[in-house]
Structure 1
């Protein structure tokens, strides 16, 4: 089943995208910062969300991990 049709899978994919983009921006800031429009701009926006809302994203990752491990 596709992640688009399953809400929990969609949330997992979005959280992983945000965390991955924030991590890659910490490693290669120049690549992310020069691409702020288009498809690469989406990754830049995900990285900004991951950096600015990091306590909330971390809490969501912990809740999602708990739900995947123990409730599914």
Structure 2
């Protein structure tokens, strides 16, 4: 079953994308800063979400980890 049809998997993919884009922007900022529009702009936007909402993203990561351990 793909992540589109399973809500928990879709949330996991989104959280991992946010964390990955934020990490890449912290390590190599020029890679994401030049692509602020278009399809690749989505990764820049995900990195901005990770930077600005980092406490909430980390809480979401912890909640997802606990949820996966229970199931």
TM-score, normalised relative to structure 2 = 0.97
5+ unaligned residues in a row in structure 1: which ranges?
none
**Residue 19 in structure 1 maps to residue 28 in structure 2:** no
Corresponding residue of 2:65: 65
Superposition deviation, residue 39 in structure 1: 1.4
Measure the CA separation in 2 of the matches of 1:53 and 1:47.
Answer: 10
Which consecutive residues of structure 2, in runs of 5 or more, have no partner in the other structure? none
Aligned residues: 71
C-alpha root-mean-square deviation of aligned residues, in Å? 0.5
- How does 1:1-72 map onto structure 2 within 5 Å? 1-70=1-70, 72=71
Q: State the SS of the aligned residue for 1:39.
A: coil
Distance in 1 (CA, whole Å) between partners of 2:66 and 2:39 is: 31
User: What is the CA–CA distance in structure 2 between the aligned matches of 1:28 and 1:69, rounded to whole Å?
Assistant: 33
